[in-house]
Chains A and B, each alone.
Chain A
Amino acid sequence: MRLGKWQVWLQLLSLGISPVLAMTACSRQQQTGLDPQEVSAGEYAYEVHCEECHEQPHPDLLKQPPNLHGIFSRKTLPSGAPATDKQVRNTIIEGRGTMPAFDKRLGNEELDELVRYLHTLK
Chain B
Amino acid sequence: MKFGLSLALALMLLGSSACSHRKTYPLQGQVIRTSPSSGEVMVDHGDIPGFMPAMTMAYKVKNAAVLQELQPGDKIAAEVVVSKDGNDYWLEDVRITDESRRGKVKPVESHMLMAGEKVPDVPLVNQDGQTIRLKDFSGKAVLVTFIYTRCPVPTFCPRLSSQFARIHNELKTTPDDYSKTQLLTISFDPKYDTPAVLRKYGLAYLEGDASGFSQWDFASTKEADMRRLAQAFGLDYQEQDNQISHTMNIALIAPDGTLVKSWSTEWTSDELLKTLRQAAHRSAKG
Which A residues contact B (CB, under 8 angstroms)?
A: 2-5, 7-8, 11-12, 15-26, 28, 49, 52-53, 57-58, 60-63, 95, 97-98, 100-105
Distance in angstroms between the alpha carbons of A5 and B3 in the assembled complex: 8
- Asked if A102 and B159 make an inter-chain contact with CB atoms under 8 angstroms apart, the answer reads no
- Asked if A5 and B154 make an inter-chain contact with CB atoms under 8 angstroms apart, the answer reads no
15 contacts between A and B (CB under 8 A): A2-B53, A5-B3, A8-B53, A12-B9, A16-B18, A17-B13, A18-B16, A21-B14, A24-B153, A52-B153, A62-B166, A95-B149, A98-B161, A105-B152, A105-B243
Tell me which residues across on chain A come within 8 A of B2, comparing CB atoms. 2
**B94 contacts the other chain (CB 8 A):** no
- Asked if B150 and A102 make an inter-chain contact with CB atoms under 8 angstroms apart, the answer reads yes
| Chain A proximity of B183: nearest CB distance (Å) | 14
Instruction: Say which residue of B14, B151, B155, B240 sits within 8 Å of A100 (CB atoms).
Output: B151
Tell me which residues across on chain A come within 8 A of B154, comparing CB atoms. 52-53, 57-58, 61
Tell me which residues across on chain A come within 8 A of B100, comparing CB atoms. none
Residue interface mask B34-55, A partner, CB < 8 A = 1: 0000000000000000111111
Tell me which residues across on chain A come within 8 A of B244, comparing CB atoms. 24
Known: A17-B12, A60-B159. 16 other contacts (CB 8 A): A12-B12, A15-B18, A17-B13, A18-B15, A19-B12, A21-B11, A23-B238, A23-B247, A24-B153, A24-B156, A25-B153, A60-B269, A62-B161, A63-B204, A97-B204, A101-B149
**B174 contacts the other chain (CB 8 A):** no
Size of B's binding interface in residues, CB under 8 A: 52
Tell me which residues across on chain A come within 8 A of B51, comparing CB atoms. 15
**B165 contacts the other chain (CB 8 A):** yes
| Chain A proximity of B27: nearest CB distance (Å) | 15
User: Given A2-B1, A22-B247, A62-B161, is A49 in contact with B152 using a C-beta cutoff of 8 Å?
Assistant: yes
